[in-house]
Amino acid sequence: MNNNTILTENIFECSICLNNIVENNNNIISCSTCNNKNCIECFNKMQKKFNYHNNEFYIIYTCPVCKTDKSIDVLDNNNILKYNLKNFINNYLIELNNKIIELNITNGVMNNKILEYKFYFNNFYKIVKYAYIVDKFVFLLFSSYVILLFKS
């Protein structure tokens, strides 16, 4: 009877999927504010984000019951193993790498556009400058022709 009481005290219901979970150090996540308990599978499905503060990396997640933000230190290897964060960190690094590659491609495209517009502007400037010079030359020839015509 006493063993059964201990067993029932250590079995909790996940607040998200409502499955029974046995409390041990590796498969339950409890909220310190509302004493809510979630299983690892539901925790891995929660939306999480990285935060960098005071030279430490944290993963921030929101408790589904009390809606408060909770943080987990990522640099602690025990937390990575306990919360099964390896896949999340791998996916985050892959996504970050893809974003960096995408930004480099976008930066290269923008640099090429800038060089193209610079080329067009320089050529347009040269054309306008030569048209101005030709216009002044034609005006000078025309005015000198008119002056010579009226002089004689």
* pLDDT tens per residue across span 130-144: 999 998 888 888 888
How far from 37 is each of 13, 18, 26, 31, CA to CA, in Å?
7, 10, 13, 7
What end-to-end distance do the CA atoms of the chain give, in Å? 135
The answer as to whether 149 is a domain residue is yes
Please count the structural domains in the chain. Answer: 1
Token representation of residue 65: 């019951």
The answer as to whether 135 is a domain residue is yes
The answer as to whether 125 is a domain residue is yes
The answer as to whether 47 is a domain residue is no
Domain that holds residue 128: 85-152
How far from 5 is each of 8, 9, 15, CA to CA, in Å?
5, 6, 22
The answer as to whether 138 is a domain residue is yes
Overall pTM > 0.85? no
The answer as to whether 122 is a domain residue is yes
- Please give the average per-residue pLDDT across 35-39, as a whole number: 80
The answer as to whether 73 is a domain residue is no
The answer as to whether 76 is a domain residue is no
Phi and psi at 130, nearest 5°, equal -70, -35
